Amino acid sequence: MTIRMDDVHFTYPGGVKVLNGVSVTIQPGEKVALVGQNGSGKTTLARHLNGLLRPATGSVWIGDWQTKDHSPAQMARRVAYVFQNPDEQLFHQRVWDEVAFGPQNLGYSPGEVHIQVEQALDLMGLGGTSNFNPRDLGYSGRKRVTLASALAMQTPVIVFDEPTAGLDSKEQEQFSKVISLLHRQGKTVIVISHDMDFLIENIDRLVLIVSGKIVLDASVQQFFEQDQMLKASGLIAPQIIRLSRQMGHSHPSTSVEQFLDTQLKQSI
Ligand SMILES: Nc1ncnc2c1ncn2[C@@H]1O[C@H](COP(=O)(O)OP(=O)(O)O)[C@@H](O)[C@H]1O
Ligand SMILES: [Mg+2]
């Protein structure tokens, strides 16, 4: 399901102009990150993908559906969106009900809902918490409940707004595995994050937003070669990139393996 945003402009009621002509195409099965400083418009852009927000001018297409012609409930068939702040998203008293809400609304049978909920809970390390009140879990537990809620919907596109904020390193590793699994299933994964070390390991393409405009859209390798642009936008490159530069490599490495390979060749 191809995603296409075409010259999208958006202003919040009250006059804050946030998106200033965003155009981007994302092919099915891509793993893409939206990056940029706080307030640059990442969340606003993400909320256009599932129709929670609609463009003032321009268009947003998810496959052959334009968001302006479909309700957010319909869009939820195609795009699941996980809120940046879990407490804005959670509203059930039991973890199981919270995670089941999406697939139930999409019309899955009780048997299918059961399987999808159990799988999603398991993927997010929440097995055994079905009867808990999400509010009794810590921040990372609440965050993982919202991630599980999106996974349980089994949509072709899934948008994670700052998914790793508040997760410990083991939970982040578990979430990396979830991203690879979704990728193997052919789903489109869109991640908003400030964690460049996480992104370089899990994402193929990066889109940089500055003041509601896309200023750079490139593969991970090419993205981090734009040193000046990243500095000007206040982004700090991942450690492996900084290390490559310090070692004088002509092209920054995006993985430990690539780094060692370049280093070995350089020292021969
Ligand atoms: N509901 C809202 N009403 C008015 N302004 C908002 C609202 N949500 C966000 N904004 C403003 O829009 C701008 C972009 O916000 P946001 O999309 O959340 O950026 P990001 O996710 O990149 O931090 C900010 O200036 C923010 O204050
Ligand atoms: Mg945000």
CATH number at residue 82: 3.40.50.300
pLDDT for position 64? 97
Closest residue by Cα to atom 16, ligand 1, is 41
Closest residue by Cα to atom 12, ligand 1, is 18
- Tell me the per-residue pLDDT of 18-37, one tens digit each, with 9 for 90 and over: 999 999 999 999 999 999 99
Closest residue by Cα to atom 7, ligand 1, is 12
pLDDT for position 155? 98
Pair (32, 130) in one structural domain: yes
pLDDT for position 15? 87
Q: Using N-to-C axis directions, what is the helix angle for 169-184 and 139-153, rounded to 10°? A: 10
pLDDT at 124 over 80: yes
- Cβ of 41 less than 6 Å from ligand 1: yes
Closest-approaching ligand to the CA atom of 209: 1
Counting residues of the chain whose pLDDT is more than 90, the rounded percentage is 82
Span from the CA of 88 to the centroid of ligand 1 (angstroms): 15
pLDDT for position 206? 97
Model pTM score: 0.95
In the block, tokens 């460049």 appear at 196
pLDDT for position 234? 86
- Tell me the per-residue pLDDT of 213-242, one tens digit each, with 9 for 90 and over: 999 999 998 999 888 888 888 888 889 988
Domain count along the chain: 2
pLDDT at 268 over 80: no
Task: Print the domain residue range for 230.
Answer: 3-235
Pair (171, 106) in one structural domain: yes
Closest residue by Cα to atom 13, ligand 1, is 39
Closest-approaching ligand to the CA atom of 38: 1
| Of 45, 25, 139, nearest in space to 89 by CA | 139
Half-sphere CA count of 16, side-chain side, radius 13 A: 8
Pair (220, 263) in one structural domain: no
Span from the CA of 89 to the centroid of ligand 1 (angstroms): 17
pLDDT for position 237? 87
pLDDT for position 83? 94
Pair (247, 223) in one structural domain: no
Pair (174, 231) in one structural domain: yes
